Amino acid sequence: MCAKHSCGGHHSKDHPCNCKMRGFLQACLLLLVARSEGYGYTLLQDLNNFGLMQQSDIGAVYRNLRSLEDAGHIVSEWQDSESGPEKRVYRITSAGRHRLLQWKEALLENRRQIDSFLTLLENSVSQ
């Protein structure tokens, strides 16, 4: 388990085949914030805990949160902690909820494509 970033991931050297979904990180962050308000550092762990991503980059998390805020899908607020540095806590906006439904459609399409691939592969192997 990754001790460096406490992200729960294994940071194993990339498999020869990986097929990262571009933008999926942003969609996941939006989803997690929609469930309940949160901040970067723990959202990183949530990604793992909910089976959304295997390993994530903390830098990418912060950048995507900012990007979501710039787009008006989430809003942030500084919250000082009783112990440790301040946290920038995010919560979703109504625009963000709308966006989430668009992500849902996009991911359904992705799944259709994957299913097409897998069934085609099975048919090829069995022939």
Indicate the SS3 state at residue 39.
strand
31 binds, among DNA, a second copy, none (CB under 5 to 8 A by kind): a second copy
Residue 108 corresponds to which tokens in the numbers above?
């359904």
Instruction: State in angstroms the smallest separation of the CB of 114 from a second copy.
Output: 5
Scan residues 58-117 and list those touching a second copy (CB under 8 A).
99-100, 102-117
Residue choice 8, 48, 52, 89 for contact with DNA (CB under 7 A): 89
Positive or negative, the CA dihedral 83, 88, 94, 97 is negative
Residue 90 to residues 23, 31, 43, 65, 82, Cα–Cα distance (Å): 19, 12, 10, 8, 18
Q: Which residues bind DNA (CB under 7 A)?
A: 3, 6, 11, 13-14, 20-26, 39-42, 55-60, 62-67, 81, 83-89
